[in-house]
Structure 1
Amino acid sequence: MVGDFLHRHLNSRLSADQWARSAMPTWSVDAPNHGFMLRRGDDVVGVYLAFYSERTVDEGTRRVCNLAAWCVLEGDRAHGVRLARAMLRQRGYDFVDLSPSGNVIDLNTRLGFEFLDTATALVPNLPLPSRRGVHLLSRPRDIERALTDRELDIYRDHRDAGAALHFVVTVGGESCYVMARRDRRRGLPVFATLLYVSDPVVLGRAGHAPYRHLLLRHLTLVTLAERRVTGRPPRLSRAQRSPRRRMFRSPDLADHSIDYLYSELTCVPW
């Protein structure tokens, strides 16, 4: 029902079944719901998906609610804010909205959300030769062998997430786990966005090899590298003029404590 609604009214590039599967997180969490919906009689007229997780921040456990896909039929837009208020009435959560657009940004601001610093570099994915000693691992069994502890848990939680692309870059005896996704800009599905980088220093030492991999393996021409995720961008890059807005609401978490894991960005391949 929800998958069919989102297919027909939000993004038809995803089938109803894809939407339904994308709405189910691939990690284990005690979630109160998967979001909220509006009904008019037996008909669904609005949906607001949510992804929940429990995260360790500063040695404490935080419950996070990711406000995801939001769609309300035009004739019922006046009631759409009820979905947002129902979401935010849930106590004990930090809230993130990682893809707000249009009027949602203004509404979030009125509801107490703040902006993340999303300064972004555009990196061309060129087929340049890799530096000596740099290797890429992308087969699941090789990734599992290369990762330990927290990174291995993150990989296993997201291994089957519908939008997540995984690889490990090794430089000498050090490694960096990278999670990315394909993205569209101006209707073109040729962009990659880096969602998680376990060690930005190692990524920087790898040179252009990660971006070459995203070109040859995933057919993306440009990588969007947010400074908050990747650290200093590579030399062959330029600043994006209008980076995508991302927002959060928390009584005490700081910008640097928010990341893009366990969210719609890893699950929904729009």
Structure 2
Amino acid sequence: MPAEDPLARERRTELSPITVADVPAVGQFLHAHLNPRLSAGAWAAAMRPPWAPDQPNHGFLLRHAGQVVGAYLAFYSEREIDGRTERFCNLAAWCVLEGHRSQGLRLLRAVLRQKDLHLTDLSPSGSVVPLNARLGFTTLDTTTALVPNLPWPVWSRARVLSDRREIEAVLTGRELAIYRDHARTAAAHHLVLVTGERSCYVIVRRDRRKRLPLFASVLHVSDPALFARHGRVVLRHLLLRHGVPFTLAERRVVPRVPSPSVTVAGRPKMFRSPSLRPDQIDYLYSELTCVAW
């Protein structure tokens, strides 16, 4: 039989928002074709972030002959920045079957057509980075410190809390709200460094480099000065409690890390905004907290 004409295939391929009803099928698609380490159920759960159950959509999908052949996930949130409510869309997993790759840009265009959103792409693949740049995305400085998590002697009076009840008893205000929004996300691990009357809320995720799951990446640090002074207690906790031998800390998130450390290139992260500065972009309310790839 002759190959199907690409234009005819495009006309027969449906583009639509990912609704709640579509989530299981998209989860199965991503499990089968993007990352099989995550079950279909884990993908589906990740698409429903606990901070905003009523998402405008969960991204966009392509269907051909009734089957999902492409998907581009999106996570939406509203953030308070400089006294204003700002609306964000985090672009997440993007997967299109080989025979439909020519239509992949339809998914991206559907996301970009949405108005009044600050866009982040915190894990673009190598081929997506130049495409994003052409579309007006800015690259964040992801210079990273690689720190060994060593079993340091406990000389400091600082301690690390990881129990939910203890964390909720210590955190207040904005940090408590962030914790409650992320407490049930699959990829975020929550710690609070406490010394005296001061506390530092830390969020990390398990990460892979060269397919090795040996790293904790720091996503959020509420008190960088306190972390710089007592961060070794956190690193010790990550090693002894979680079995993670190394921590990756971007300088924009953790300006000063405990020694020893070496500087390494970070993974690309990008954003597009008409008004926000790079220092106003963080990694919360995103796939980095929801998808434990």
Compare 102-111 and 1-10 and name the one that shifted more.
Answer: 102-111
* 1:97-125 deviation line (CA, Å, top 9, x unaligned): 00001211111111110101111100101
> What is the CA distance between 1:216 and its match in structure 2?
1.3
The TM-score, its normalising length taken from structure 1, stands at 0.97
Q: Is residue 20 of structure 1 aligned with residue 44 of structure 2?
A: yes
Kindly indicate whether residue 235 of structure 2 is the aligned counterpart of residue 215 of structure 1: no
Q: CA deviation at 1:255?
A: 0.2
Deviations 1:133-163 (A, max 9, x none): 1111111110010100111010000000000
Structure 1 residue identity aligned to 2:185 = A
The runs of at least 4 consecutive aligned structure 1 residues that moved more than 3 Å come to none
* In 2, Cα distance between equivalents of 1:62 and 1:122: 32
List aligned pairs for 1:1-270, cutoff 5 A. Answer: 1-28=25-52, 30-240=54-264, 242-270=265-293
Deviation at 1:172, TM superposition (A): 2.4
Q: Is the 8 A contact 1:64 1:93 kept in 2?
A: yes
Cα distance in 2 for partners of 1:151, 1:131 equals 27
Q: TM-score, normalised by structure 2?
A: 0.90
Instruction: Give the Cα separation in 1 of the matches to 2:263 and 2:105.
Output: 35
Distance 2:288 2:176 in 1: 19
Alignment size in residue pairs = 269
1:249–1:29 distance in 2 versus 1, CA, 3 Å = farther
Give the unaligned 5+ runs of structure 2: 1-24
What secondary structure does 1:162 align onto? coil
Q: Name the amino acid aligned to 1:268.
A: V
Using the alignment, how far apart are the partners of 1:93 and 1:29 within structure 2?
18
CA distance in 1, matches of 2:255, 2:155: 20
Q: Partners of 1:204 and 1:131 in 2: how far apart?
A: 15
Task: Verify the 8 A CA contact 2:227 2:257 in the aligned structure 1.
Answer: no
Q: CA RMSD in A?
A: 1.0
Q: Secondary structure at the match of 2:55?
A: coil
Kept in 2, the 8 Å contact 1:182–1:269? The answer is yes
Stretches of structure 1 lacking an aligned partner (at least 5 in a row): none
Structure 2: distance between partners of 1:126 and 1:94 = 39
- The answer to whether the 8 Å contact 1:182/1:191 transfers is yes
Q: Give the match for residue 18 of structure 2.
A: none
Identity of aligned residues (%): 59
Larger Rg: 2
* Residues in 2 aligned to 1:37 and 1:140: alpha-carbon distance in whole angstroms: 36
- Equivalents in 1 of 2:58, 2:87: separation in Å? 14
